Structures are given as C-alpha cells and as structure tokens.
Amino acid sequence: MHPVVSLLIQRLALGVLLLLAASALIFGLTEVLPGDAAQAILGQSATPESLANLREEMGLNRPALTRYFEWLGGILTGDMGNALTNKLPIADQIGKRMSSTLFLAFWAALISVPLAILLGLIAVRYQNRWPDKIISGVTLASISLPEFMIAYILIFFFAVQSLSWGIWGWFGMDPVAFPSFASVSPTMTLGEKLYSITLPAAVLTLVVLAHMMRMTRAAILNVMQSAYIETAELKGLSTFSVIYKHAFPNAIAPIVTVVMINLAYLVVGVVVVEVVFAYPGMGQYLVDAVVKRDVPVVLACGVIFAAVYIILNIIADVVSILANPRLRHPK
C-alpha cells in the first residue's frame, strides 16, 4: 500500500477515536454538573417526590453508561432527542441553525482566507518596510479589540453614520446603511441574504485575518532562509515570483493548519457576533439552551462543535501530508 494511504487511514481512524472521546467527555461533564434535566424542568419549587417521578419517567435513574450509549446511538442514527423546553426534535432545529452558521462562516472564510494569504505574501515581499508595517499594525489592532467592540464600531459607522456620508453621491447612489440586525430566512434571495450578513461577515473577517496573515508571513519567512530560495533568486526571478513559486509551496502545511483552526473558529466561536447581530445561528442556539438549562441541546451542540473542530483538523493534517513530496513520492 502507498504510504500516504496508510497514513491517511491512520489519521481518519484517529479522528473517529478522538470524536468518541470528545463525546464521552462532553456527556461526562454534563453528568457531573449539579442538577439534571428533571431539576431544570421543575425548577426551585420541585418536591423530592415530583423529582423522583420525573426522573423515573425520563429514564434518568438508569446508569450513566447506558444513557451514554443510547444517546450516542441516537446521534449516529440522526436522532438527537427532543429539546426539554419546547419538545421539538433537536436535529431539525440544529439543521436550520447550522445552515445559517455555515452560510455566514462560508462567506467570511471566502473573503478572509485569500485576503490573509495575499496580505501575508505582500508582507513578506516588503518585509520590514511600510506595507508590511501597515498590514501588521492594522491586523494586530483588529485582533486586539474584543469582537463585540469591532461589531459595535462597524454598526456605528456603517449602519448609522453612513446615511449621512456624501460619498454615496459620488457614485450616483442613495445613501446606504447596512443592517445591524442580520436576519436571514429561506425565502430571501442570495443578494438579500448577503446584504443582510455584510456587517457580521466583516467583523468575523477582521477577527480571523490577523492570525492567518501573521502565520502565513512567518511560515514563508522561515522558508525564505533556505538555500533553494537563493537558487531561485540567482535564476533572475522577481522577488514576488520567488515567494509565490518557490517559498509558498513549502509553507503550505503550517498555513493550512492555521487556516483550519480559524475556519473552525468561524463555525464554533461566533457566539458573541451572533448575539450582537441577533443572527439565528448555532451560537445563539447554544446560548439560549445554556440559559434554559436545556441539557440535551447543549450536548448536541457540544458534539457538533467538537466534530467540526476534529474534521477541519483532519483536513489540515491530510493536506499537510499531501503537500509533503517526501511522503507523496517515496524513494
């Protein structure tokens, strides 16, 4: 068997194991938390008898291991149970929420990933000169501000102030203000949806840009020390083609790793942004569930978030393996 194939199988198997471990951990943690679903439903006024009855009814008295495997089996067959609060199937809810979150994450990624890599390349090309310093300064500033702060700053300028800007007139347009309330619904056209998510997507882009850009810059600068870069320079290639053709292909592995970590963040780390813009995504859903102590929903969200992280990291691993010519073409 080609060594790459066995390496890939190894990674995939490891990913599955990791996912199982994560699910056990999440389940275990909700078990050891004080109080359970019965307590949550009945609230402060619960009498010991009513608690015991409800636990019996919900099957909470059975051993944790049994309930874990039932729950796990349910997830594997697509049945995540019903939410405690509104009795609706969790899977349907998550399906809707997840597609909203992925929609936002997709557009934020589509802008931020190429932009971050391009800025990284430019920063290397003009290392320690003003373009590098400006790029580093702006991206560092944006990562240093809390994301809700960026969100409110953008809302202030582009949802409120922009109506009074004269700039629109130069293009013969009416003043534009972007919505600060980013609601999307299935009936909207793509254009309407995009318009609606402009500000949250911009905030997310600013938040993840710096990390990816700086990692790209560092990874390529590291490669730029190599002797083969000198060979390329001595072929008379321009600095930018040296960076793009000779340095970048050797820096793919670390860049992909950091890109994947940021993509995962776009899916699972957007709670604050979703709340600020009242965007109906997974983050909102999770926050609501935690507030209402809706344990099954929290569990389901937790497992899905873990899965997103693990899958994206497996992809990063796979790309790193495939990017290495020593593994791709053994002796």
Residues that bind other proteins (CB under 8 A): 226-228, 230-238, 246, 249-250, 323, 325-326, 329, 331
Minimum distance of other proteins from residue 95's CB (angstroms): 41
Would you say 227 or 291 has its CB closer to other proteins? 227
Residue 140: count of CB within 10 angstroms of its CB:
12
Minimum distance of other proteins from residue 249's CB (angstroms): 4
Would you say 287 or 323 has its CB closer to other proteins? 323
Minimum distance of other proteins from residue 282's CB (angstroms): 38
Nearest-5° Cα angle at 12, 9 to 16: 135
Would you say 34 or 330 has its CB closer to other proteins? 330
Give the 3-state secondary structure of residue 135.
helix
Would you say 232 or 298 has its CB closer to other proteins? 232
Q: Which residues of 257-274 are buried (b: 16+ CB within 10 A; e: fewer)?
A: bbbbbbbbbbbbbbbbbb
Minimum distance of other proteins from residue 235's CB (angstroms): 4
Of 111, 21, 40, the closest CA to residue 306 belongs to 21
Minimum distance of other proteins from residue 320's CB (angstroms): 13
Would you say 28 or 249 has its CB closer to other proteins? 249
DSSP one-letter string for 159-219:
IIGGGG-THHHHTT-------SS----TTS-HHHHHHHTHHHHHHHHHHHHHHHHHHHHHH
